[in-house]
Structures are given as structure tokens and as C-alpha cells.
Amino acid sequence: MPSTIQTPEQILADLGIREPEDLEIEAIAEYCGATIRYKPLYGCEARIIGYHDRAIITINSSSPRSRQRFSGGHELGHWMRDRGQIAFKCDYQSYVRGWWASNPETCANRFASDVLLPLGMFQPRARGLHVTFETVRKLADTFMTSLTSTAIRLVEHGGLPSMLVCNTPQKKEWFVASPEVSGRLWPLARPKQGSSASSLLSTTREAKGPIDVRCDNWINHPRADHYWIKEDSLSLRDGTVLSLLWWEDEQQLLDLDEYEERMGSRRSDGRTDWE
């Protein structure tokens, strides 16, 4: 076991892992002092009990393999952060919804992404690919990871202007944005009726794949009705709807600079008065 707390990148470098097929979560966890075992669990996906420098991670044996791997990375994230004496019990909701708040669940999810979707391997495979769930599925197959974590990685590091928005039937849970969009455009509290997500949230109908949608169905900006974006939405098993938004036509982003300059209202925190 490494003597000091290491980053996921250092751990993978120590183990000489360079290809996605070598990202064996059991071996990575063992190197970090945590043994993974599988057994039926009820009411949670995984749990960890750790004491001193050893931990046992138990993962639900009846979950799909991609989720089991994510569970392993997630529990390992708890372990690497709070080594010594810990006990966590984590459910599916933490994996889907824990990406926004600053709390141990979000940190554990981020750790799992860094271990299972390392940027050095992910970026060359993702760069320039269309921001759709078809792409996400291909990358998730390569890395054997969940749709949610892979979609977040694609938006944040795929190199195209995009957002991933997570809505539950009750509210918008979180969103992530690519560097070109982050801090410049924000999603509405709720997608409007013209969006695919709106119909998925109100009915149980099937997702219809990527559609062109007017930007004001999604984005909070006075000129949003002048632009179109590509939306690809799907429902997860608990009714959560994930939506990929892609500025395939980047005109809105190009016009933003001019608009912001004209408004002259940029505040010191980087947000603008029309937000």
C-alpha cells in the first residue's frame, strides 16, 4: 500500500496501467489497502468498512458490471480521503445525483471517475466525437463505466461546447458544462415543453435520440430564442432524466462575447446581470 495518500493518477502510474482494459478495480483497490468482495446487498449498492490501514469493500453481486466497477471506485474514493476509520453505505442515488454539492459523495464520485476514466486515456478517445448518448455508450463500453460518469467526462473533457443536465421529476438536480460554456450560460430551472426532456419527465415514453431544439427551451438568456442546440435525453431507471446539450452550431457562443461587451454588465464574480 502507498505510504502517503496519492492521487488517482499517481496510483495508476505506480501500477503501470496505461490501457482501459487494464483498469482492474479490484487490483487498484488492493494496492490501496482495500479488498473488494461481492455479495448480495439489499437497499444499497456498496459499503466500506475500514480500520487503520485496511478496508473491506462489499459490492452488490447482482448489479451490472459497470455499476459494480463504479461502486468499487466510489468506495475507494471514500477510503483514500478518510483513511483510518470509516464506514460508508452508498446507494444508486448517490452515484447519479451526487455530482454537484461539495460533500463526501461527490468527492467519491469524482475519485471513481479519475480512476476508471483517467484523462490520459479518455481524452484521446473522446476528442471531437459527437456529444450524444451513442458516443457515451461507446466510451462506456471501452471503459466499462456507467452512462452518467462517462457522459460527465465527455462534456467536461471531450473538447466540444456542451452541457449535461440532470433533472428528476421534482427538480433540476445538477448540471456540468464544458469549459467553453461554463460560467457563461446556465440552464433554466426546468426545461420547457419543446425539449425532449420535458416529455420524458412527464410521461414514460421512450427517448427519441438527438433532436434539434431551440435554445430557449433550455438556456436562460434573453437571446436564447435566436439559436438552436442539439439535445439528447434519456431516462434512467429511477425516473431521472439526463440531457446532453451540444452547441454543434457555435454561433451563440461567438455572439456571447459581443453581447456581454454591449451589455457592459459583467460583475466581479463573472456572472452577468441578465442571468
User: Quick one: which H or E segment has residue 225?
Assistant: none
Residue 143 near residue 150, CB atoms below 8 Å: yes
Q: Which of 12, 96, 108, 117 binds Zn ion (CB under 5 A)?
A: 108
CB of 105 to Zn ion, least distance (A): 5
Residue count, binding to Zn ion (CB under 5 A): 5
CB of 93 to Zn ion, least distance (A): 10
Nearer to Zn ion, 106 or 235 (CB): 106
User: Which residue number is nearest to Zn ion in terms of Cβ?
Assistant: 90
CB of 72 to Zn ion, least distance (A): 12
Nearer to Zn ion, 57 or 176 (CB): 57
C-alpha triplet 222, 156, 248: angle, nearest 5°: 50
Rounded to whole angstroms, how far apart are CA atoms 66 and 238? 17
Rounded to whole angstroms, how far apart are CA atoms 121 and 114? 10
Residue 156 near residue 182, CB atoms below 8 Å: no
Nearer to Zn ion, 35 or 265 (CB): 35
Rounded to whole angstroms, how far apart are CA atoms 74 and 206? 30
Which grid cell sits at 185?
A: 450560460
Nearer to Zn ion, 112 or 154 (CB): 112
CB of 102 to Zn ion, least distance (A): 14
Positions in 70-99 near Zn ion (CB under 5 A) = 88, 90, 94
CB of 33 to Zn ion, least distance (A): 18
Rounded to whole angstroms, how far apart are CA atoms 163 and 158? 11
Nearer to Zn ion, 109 or 132 (CB): 109
Q: Which residue has the cell 432524466?
A: 241
* Burial of residue 127, with CB atoms counted within 10 A of its CB: 0-12 exposed, 13-18 middle, 19 or more buried: exposed
Nearer to Zn ion, 110 or 221 (CB): 110
CB of 8 to Zn ion, least distance (A): 16
Question: Contact residues for Zn ion (CB under 5 A)?
Answer: 88, 90, 94, 105, 108
